[in-house]
């Protein structure tokens, strides 16, 4: 099975990348763009694996069977760096470290490949630090930047990169992938692919984690319960509790694990008092954990707002009698009643309100205030 097998619905992209690998002289900088769930990072990793593949025949590179392919896909190849930030934005120090890495000659492979996830999280100042490295890279280094769209990256960067645009795969492609790769039943795979709207990562999580399915169901059902101002406030709090609790718990577990590792590295016991000269190490750890927690909560809320949008998208399809498949087909009876009691203008207004809420949250508005404003805008919804 080749390295391209887990890129459903990306035939054109695969053809372009495969042809580049066979030619043997890839562009030094690439920009992979596509909406969330399109598989930007997976495509970048597959491309890196094909570049490092040890097959002697160019047409067979990207075999997926050699040690180089397997190690790149597993994230253990010494010449391929996968870089992501757990903070809201990349720090300049992180980018400078990447530039230093880019100067190193490959130790075992043909290329030194640096994949930067979420390149849109770079500030202008940080991006400018990266610019010169991309303009004048060593002959053995390939940069791959990943972002939702070209507009999310400074024009000075994207003008120096070869662009690759991915699209969200269709439900059928994701269903087939989940059945083949993850061993899901056709029913499990079809449900997860449909409600995730083709987002492969979300589909896997929903298929394998009952808690995630339950949280999504609770979020998408909230409009049924918004009847007046008190129920709107309750819905906002419920939404926040559902989305933030999992992210905060995950952040706490990570913080505890990181502290335990740091204590081991510094030779401190689990309960031993931290000496004054070592306190700065633990303070940096705590500050990083707080930034990760904030980003985790913001990302979780945003994902749930996307799920909530599908409720009104389905209502609009029913109101316009389009006969298209519903994302939330398992809720069809409730959706039909809701759609009959409202009109297309209401559905569109709710979709716009959710989009505005996502923009406010991206601008650092208080999640509580943003969600209360959103749920207030849904008060005209009829009771379930």
Q: What is the pLDDT of residues 298-351, one digit of tens each?
A: 888 988 999 999 999 999 999 999 988 899 999 999 999 999 999 999 999 999
Say which residue, 261 or 16, is predicted with more confidence.
16
Q: How far apart are alpha carbons 339 and 343 in whole angstroms?
A: 7
Give, as one character, the DSSP assignment of residue 331: G
Q: Which of 64-78, 116-130, 163-177, 266-280 has the lowest mean pLDDT?
A: 266-280
| pLDDT for 384 beyond 50 | no
Phi, psi of 63 (to 5 degrees): -65, -30
Predicted TM-score (pTM) of the model is 0.76
Structure tokens, 78: 């010494």
Sign of the CA dihedral with 247 first, then 248, 249, and 250 last: positive
Q: What is the pLDDT of residues 301-310, one digit of tens each?
A: 988 999 999 9
- Sorted by sequence, the CB contacts under 8 Å of residue 101 that are 6+ apart come out as 81, 112, 114
Q: Are 146 and 30 in contact (CB under 8 A)?
A: no
* Closest to 301 (Cα-Cα) out of 240, 251, 359, 250: 240
* Closest to 368 (Cα-Cα) out of 235, 220, 219: 235
- Sorted by sequence, the CB contacts under 8 Å of residue 316 that are 6+ apart come out as 339, 344, 347, 348, 351
pLDDT, position 319: 95
């Amino acid at each position: 099975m080749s390295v391209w097998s887990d890129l459903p619905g990306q035939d054109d992209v695969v053809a372009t990348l495969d042809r580049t690998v066979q030619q043997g002289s890839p562009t030094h900088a690439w920009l992979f763009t596509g909406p969330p769930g399109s598989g930007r990072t997976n495509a970048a990793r597959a491309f890196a694996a094909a570049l490092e593949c040890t097959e002697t025949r160019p047409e067979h590179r990207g075999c997926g069977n050699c040690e180089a392919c397997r190690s790149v896909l597993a994230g253990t190849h010494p010449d391929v760096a996968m870089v992501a930030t757990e903070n809201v934005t990349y720090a300049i120090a992180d980018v400078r470290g990447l530039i230093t890495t880019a100067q190193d000659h490959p130790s075992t492979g043909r290329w030194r490949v640096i994949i930067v996830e979420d390149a849109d999280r770079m500030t202008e100042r940080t991006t400018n630090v990266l610019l010169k490295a991309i303009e004048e890279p060593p002959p053995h280094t390939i940069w791959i930047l990943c972002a939702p769209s070209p507009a999310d990256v400074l024009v000075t960067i994207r003008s120096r990169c070869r662009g690759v645009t991915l699209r969200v795969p269709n439900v059928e492609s994701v269903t087939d992938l989940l059945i083949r790769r993850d061993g899901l039943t056709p029913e499990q795979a079809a449900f997860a692919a449909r409600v995730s709207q083709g987002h492969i990562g979300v589909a896997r999580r929903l298929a394998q984690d009952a808690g995630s399915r339950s949280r999504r169901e609770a979020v998408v059902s909230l409009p049924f319960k918004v009847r007046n101002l008190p129920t709107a406030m309750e819905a906002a709090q419920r939404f926040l509790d559902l989305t933030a609790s999992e992210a905060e718990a995950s952040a706490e577990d990570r913080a505890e694990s990181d502290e335990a590792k740091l204590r081991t590295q510094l030779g401190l016991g689990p309960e031993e008092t931290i000496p004054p000269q070592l306190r700065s190490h633990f303070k940096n750890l705590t500050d990083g954990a707080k930034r990760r927690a904030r980003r985790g909560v913001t990302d979780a809320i945003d994902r749930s707002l996307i799920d909530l949008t599908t409720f009104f998208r389905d209502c609009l399809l029913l109101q316009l009698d389009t006969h298209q498949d519903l994302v939330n087909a398992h809720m069809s009876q409730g959706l039909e009643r809701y759609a009959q009691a409202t009109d297309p203008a209401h559905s569109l207004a709710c979709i716009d309100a959710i989009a505005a809420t996502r923009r406010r949250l991206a601008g650092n508005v208080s999640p509580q205030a943003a969600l209360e404003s959103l749920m207030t805008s849904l008060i005209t919804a009829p009771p379930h």
